Structure 1
Amino acid sequence: MNKIVYIEDDPDLANVIEMALSENYDLLILYDAKNIVEKILSFMPDLILIDNYIGVTQASEVIAEIKTAKSLAHIPFVLCSGHADIKTIAINISASAYLEKPFALKDLYNTIETVLEKSI
C-alpha cells in the first residue's frame, strides 16, 4: 500500500481527504509544519500532498525544508490550493502536479495515481 502524507491546516478538509484516501493508502495527516522533517522521515511516504498555506507558512518553505533531508529529496509532491495562480506557484516550487481547490475526488485519485506511476 502506497504511503501518502497530507499537510493541511484545515481539519474539516483533512477529514474529508482521510475518508477518501484511507481505504486505499496508508495516510499520515499533518496539521502544521512543526518538526516536519522528523515526522516525514519516520513515515517515509511515496507522495506528499500539501496545501499552499499551512497557517502562515507557505508550501514553498515547507517543501524546501523537507528537501534538505537527502532521503526525502526524491519524494514527489502535489500542491493543493485555491490560489488564483496555483499553476505558476506549482511550477516555481517544482511540484509534480497541482490540484485547484475545490477539487473533485476523481481528480484527486487521478492525480495521485499519475504522480505515483511516474515516480516508479
Structure 2
Amino acid sequence: MQKRVLIIENDQDIRTLVSFILEEEGFETLSCPEPKDLEPIHEFKPNVILIDEFINNQPGHRFCLKIKQSEKLSRIPVIILSTANNIEMIVEECKANDYVRKPFDVQVMVDKVMNLIDNTPLSV
C-alpha cells in the first residue's frame, strides 16, 4: 500500500514542490493551506504529516498539539517545517516527532519522512 503524506503549508509554491518531491519518491500526498479542523487527517489517513510553523490563522505548532492530543491521531508522526530559530523548542512543546529547517535540503526532508514511516507502528 502506498504511504501517504499530508502537507499543511500556506505557500502554494512550497506545497507544490514538496508534493512533487514526495510523489517522485513514491508517496501519495494531499496538501492544503490550512485545515479548519482535524477532518482532513481523519479522511486522508496519512502516515506522516508535514506542518509549516507559519500557517495563516494559527501557528503550526498549535495544530500539531491538537493532533497529538487526539486519541485517534496522536500516533501519526508530525514534522514541523520552519525558518524559526527556536525550532527545537517549538518541536518539543508541541510534541512533534521531528523538524526540517527552511530552506530545506530535499534529501534531508525525504530521509526524515521515510525514517518516521519506517519506524512508526501501524495504527489500530
Moved more, 73-82 or 61-70: 61-70
The number of aligned residues is 119
Q: Which residue is 2:99 aligned to?
A: 98
Q: Which residue is 1:6 aligned to?
A: 7
1:28 equivalenced with 2:36 (yes/no): no
Aligned alpha-carbon RMSD (Å): 1.3
In structure 2, the gaps of 5 or more residues are none
Q: For residue 114 of structure 1, report the CA deviation from its aligned partner.
A: 1.3
Task: Give the aligned residue type for 2:22.
Answer: L
Tell me the secondary structure at the aligned position of residue 72 of structure 2: helix
- Pick closer, same or farther for the CA change 1:54–1:102 going to 2, 3 Å: same
1:57 equivalenced with 2:58 (yes/no): yes
The 8 Å contact of residues 4 and 26 in structure 1, kept in 2 or not, is answered as yes
- 2:94 & 2:17 partners in 1: Cα distance? 26
Tell me the secondary structure at the aligned position of residue 71 of structure 1: coil
- 1:106 & 1:88 partners in 2: Cα distance? 23
Structure 1 residue runs of 4+, over 3 Å off?
Answer: none
Q: Which residue is 1:115 aligned to?
A: 116
- 2:11 & 2:59 partners in 1: Cα distance? 14
Task: Give the aligned residue type for 2:32.
Answer: L
Tell me the secondary structure at the aligned position of residue 5 of structure 1: strand
1:40-85 deviation digits (Å, cap 9, x = unpaired): 1011111101010111311222123333432212111001100111
What aligned pairs does 1:75-86 form with structure 2 within 5 A after superposition? 75-86=76-87
